[in-house]
Amino acid sequence: MPKILKDGVVSTMTEAEETAYNQIQTAHNNLYKQYKVDRTSGFYNEDTNTQTKTIYGQLTEQLDMLYRDVAAGKFGNDAKTGEWYLHVKSVKDDNPKE
């Protein structure tokens, strides 16, 4: 049985506690996987735990967006009007984290 910290004391999980913990962990893992899938336009590979393509755009495209924003002097609150920020914000708004 796994050990847990309960009221400042290390103790052993009961079978019921371990079952409940495993159910919560499984539910969390499933939500996280779905969150990752929602932000992709490709397929999730459970064997390798990877996505095939992201809707955030290629890293080189994102770096180019950031470069153009910096070159345009978009810093501080103005950065929130930049191409990169608006792109990432739209992905996050369309796929909120639960």
pLDDT, tens digit (0-9, with 9 covering 90-100), for 26-39:
988 888 777 776 66
- Answer yes or no: do 24 and 64 share one domain: no
pLDDT at res. 41:
57
pLDDT at res. 81:
92
**Measured distance CA(37)–CA(92) in Å, rounded:** 13
Q: 84 vs 46, 94, 96, CA distance in Å?
A: 30, 16, 18
- Answer yes or no: do 21 and 40 share one domain: yes
- Answer yes or no: do 7 and 47 share one domain: yes
Name residues of the chain where pLDDT drops below 70. Answer: 1-2, 4, 37-45, 50-54, 98
Please state the domain count of the chain. 2
- Answer yes or no: do 10 and 34 share one domain: yes
pLDDT at res. 23:
93
**Measured distance CA(50)–CA(33) in Å, rounded:** 10
3-state secondary structure of 22: helix
Domain with 18, as residue range(s), is 3-51
pLDDT at res. 55:
72
**Measured distance CA(84)–CA(61) in Å, rounded:** 9
Alpha helices in 1-98 (DSSP H): 15-38, 59-71, 83-94
pTM: 0.45
